[in-house]
Amino acid sequence: MTEAGNAGKKFDELVGILAALRGPRGCPWDRARTALDIRDYFLEEVYEAVEALEAGNASNLAEELGDVLMEVVFLSRIFEEQGGFTVADALDRVNAKMIARHPHVFASPRDMTVADSWNEGKKAERGTSSVLEDPRPATPALLSAFQIGRRVSACGFDWPDAVGVLAKVREETAELEAAVSGADAAGAEEELGDLMFTLANAARKLGLNPELALRKANAKFVRRFRALEDEARSSGKDLGKLSLEEMDSIWDRQKARDRDT
């Protein structure tokens, strides 16, 4: 059996497992789950897969991708029970979409560029001539800004290089400072949004994903703050009673230790 055929057999097995778990003699916990319940587990599994990918751990990644597939099948099973769609319907749609978006591979004309064929395919799906679609409410705003910049870049609407977009970051920072100095709350909100949008595009020009970069920064901050708490505790001090200068001193020592490792 080919690798694709073997994968198909195992996918059918997963579909059967979820059908049994949701069946009349299945697991009470699984039977009680709603689509909105699975939404939270689905997001959790996706982020765990991203963490395994970033860590370069192939074994963990294989496991986490399996968990993501399980949540996909779980959701599809719930909607099949409601008369909505089956997992086969979801597969039909993605198969058709991938073929339609790659006419340079599956159809004529074969002289289209990859970017051209992808963008034309997406416009055809949306029934619009715009390369942009409305931001999806569930998509993190920073990631959405990154995606918007990437799409318009394919049309040539972009900064020439990272230096140009970093100059725009400084411009937006100055405008935010002016709004704050003028006690203009509405203006500050707008300028902060402009700055964050520009930073997302700075990341794109640097070949980075801003959502992943921010996740790493969040994790670094949490690690350093916990180290700050541990050092204060080991010294018999109440963190809440330390002065800002004392906390800054501990923080700087933790930063120095990070640089040395």
CA 161/CA 125 separation, integer angstroms: 31
For 70, residues 6+ apart whose C-beta sits below 8 A from its C-beta are: 14, 18, 45
Residues 201 and 219 in one domain: no
* Angle, alpha carbons 125-126-131 (nearest 5°): 105
205 contacts 162 by C-beta, under 8 angstroms: yes
Phi, psi of 34 (to 5 degrees): -105, 170
> What CATH number is attached to the domain comprising 74?
1.10.287.1080
**Average pLDDT, integer, range 178-192:** 96
pLDDT at res. 110: 55
Mean pLDDT of the chain: 87
Written as six digits, the tokens of 103 are 């006419």
Using a pLDDT cut of 70, give the percent of the chain over it. Answer: 87
**SS3 label, residue 26:** coil
Concatenating the DSSP letter of every residue in 113-182 gives -HHHHHHHHHHHHHTSS-S--PPPTTS-HHHHHHHHHHHHHTTT-S-SSHHHHHHHHHHHHHHHHHHHHT
If asked whether residues 183 and 203 sit together in one domain, one would say yes
Residue in the structure block whose two tokens are 């933790």: 254
- 12 and 31 belong to one structural domain: yes
Max distance between CA atoms of the chain, in angstroms, equals 73
- CA proximity to 70, closest of 95, 34, 46: 46
Count of structural domains within the chain: 4
Cβ-contact 188, 231 below 8 angstroms: no
Tokens at 43, concatenated:
């997001």
The answer to whether the beta carbons of residues 100 and 121 sit under 8 Å apart is yes
Residues 6+ apart with CB under 8 A from 19: 77
Residue 90 lies in a domain: yes
Domain presence at residue 40: yes
Judge contact between 63 and 45, C-beta under 8 A.
no
Pull the structure tokens for residue 232. Answer: 């204060």
Query: How does residue 200 score in pLDDT terms, banded at 50, 70 and 90?
Result: very high
The pTM is what?
A: 0.60
Is the CA virtual torsion 158, 98, 54, 67 positive or negative? positive
Mean pLDDT, range 209-215, rounded to an integer: 88
127 has pLDDT over 90: no
pLDDT at 172 over 80: yes
pLDDT at 40: 85
Residues 182 and 224 in one domain: no
- Residue 72 sits in the same domain as residue 148: no
Q: For residue range 3-44, list pLDDT tens digits in order.
A: 666 899 999 999 999 999 999 999 999 999 999 999 889 988
Q: Which domain holds residue 47?
A: 3-99
pLDDT at site 128: 59
Residue 254, pLDDT > 70, answer: yes
| 204 and 216 inside one domain | no
